[in-house]
Structure formats: structure tokens, C-alpha cells
Amino acid sequence: MTSNAISRRIEELENLLPPLTARPDLDDYWDLTLEQFADKPLYAKRTLTETPYAYMKACKVEYQGYDATPIHGWYLLPKFRQEEKLPCVVLYHGYTGSKGYPEEYAAYLLMGIAVFAIDVRGQSGETGNLMPQDYGMTKGWITQGILDKDSFYYKAITIDALKALDWASEQPEVDAERICASGASQGGGLAMIAAALSDKAAIAVAHIPNMCQMDFGILNSSSSLSEAAAFIERNPEQLDTVLETLSYFDNMNLAHRIRIPLFVTVGLKDPVTMPETIYAAFNRVDCEKTIVPYPFSGHVVTGDQQRLAVDFISAHFLNR
């Protein structure tokens, strides 16, 4: 291969291996947390909803994840698929977004795949946030409870994401052995952490994922971590505490727990989920994995990225 600036940049990223920021009790912490939440009831309900789409069965779903907050989602099925048990993609949206409209997921239904798309609590969807708050925040959601890993917003949305996989695995139309955790940006970070912590996901797709090498991100990126940076600017004495809290939710530190096939995309011009952060986490994963760099893309998921992800899902769920 001819050497050029682009190939050298990719090679540099492929060899990137910054030191972990994990505390010694990271695995014990998550093992205990997963055990604590394993038997928490979902209190779920699904309600059939009319849409203009003749070949789509759409249900509104509510379930409980981290606490008593009702998490809202769309559960979608293709009416034309006769297979008794379908693969399912569980989808997490990007920061400030929502589950959107059912038709946004039509491509998966055309593949004969079920979809469960959820709101992330407190953001722009129908889902509120009942978490208590005992310290001030900077604007946005990221700094809620950031001084303690057990009160931190990321813990709540992580458990919500894991419980979404639990709910999907219990649906009568879903093949519990063929569930994909997927998302972009914030959603990509949640898909990766779900791959590390859930026993329900069989594969994961993480487009331009956040929640990777967050000590680097808080210093350099324009992502939601800039809210944490603003918090520290106002409370400089809390720097070490904030970095410690973030370390428990950093996909770089949790990468060793990923044991399922993983597909990742990255934009080399992305100032939000910077390539240095994504490769720092991806390079630590020790199982079947693929990363596709886009040298001229920023913080975006292109049609090509979507198509390659669909090919990845199809190869694992449909072509076997």
C-alpha cells in the first residue's frame, strides 16, 4: 500500500493505546451493579398504535429501567414477514434526540427485522427523568450526579439501555439469540457499553460512539463532555472526582468485557466523538471486531456507514 497522509493517520490511530483510567474495582463494581438490577421488574406495557403504514405493526412501549421513570419506545414489526421468531435491533439515539417516528426505522423492517427504539431519559422524547439531584448542573444532562458513580446520569441511561435489551429478549416475536444493540454518537456509546455489560445482545453496531477515552474527550472534544468541562471550570476542585466517575462508564476501560461481534464507524474529521477516543476503546476490544474509518467525514452517519452496518447485521442474523 502506498504511504500517504491518510494511510499514515489511520495507521497511527490503529496503534493508539493510551493508558487505561479504570479504578481497581471497576469489574467488581459492574458485577455487583448488574446483580442488583437483574431482578428489578420492568413493569412494561405495549400498546398497538395506528400508523399510515400498511405493512408495519407499531406498538408504543413503556418500561422501567434504572428507577421508576417510564422509558418510552417504539416496538416495530414487519407485517409481511412470516418467520415465527425475528431478529431484533435495539436502537439508542444521539444526544438531545429521541426515538423519533416509526417510519425512521423502515429499512430494518424491510429486512424482516424487528425494531425496539427507545428514548434516552430527559432528552427530547416523551421520557422524563425522576432521578434525584443533590448538586448543581451545567446546562444539558451530563453533569447530573457527576460527583458519584452511583448517582451519575450515565449510570441511569446505561441501566435503561440494558433493560431495553432485556425487554426485547422477552417478546414472543423476537429470537432472543439474534438481538443487536445499535446506535450513533451517544447511542453508539450506549451500544458499546451494552456490548460490554449485557448478556442479551448477540452483536453490536456503534457508529461514531461517544463514552470513549473520556479523559481525552473532556479536554479536547466539543461533545456533550464539554458540559462536564464547564462543570469543572466552575468547580476546579472537583476535577479528580469527575474523572473518577467518568472512568466507570468509559468504553475504553470496559472494552475487555466485550465478547460479541462489534462493528464501529469513525469520522477522522469528527470534533465531537474524536477518532482518538474511538480507536482508544476499539483497540482494546479482544474479539471479532471491525472498524471503518471515513477520512473526510465529521460527526455524521452517512448512507455508506448505514449500508455497511446493515450488511454486518445481515451476515450475522440472516445469512446463516
Catalytic residues: 185, 270, 299
Q: In what order do the strands lie in the sheet with 70-78?
A: 45-49, 56-64, 70-78, 114-118, 86-92, 174-184, 203-207, 262-267, 289-294
Which residue numbers belong to the known binding site?
95
Q: Which three cell numbers stand for residue 36?
A: 442488583
Half-sphere exposure of 244 (CA within 13 A, CB side): 11
Which residue numbers belong to the known binding site for substrate?
95
Contact at 8 Å (CB) between 163 and 130?
no
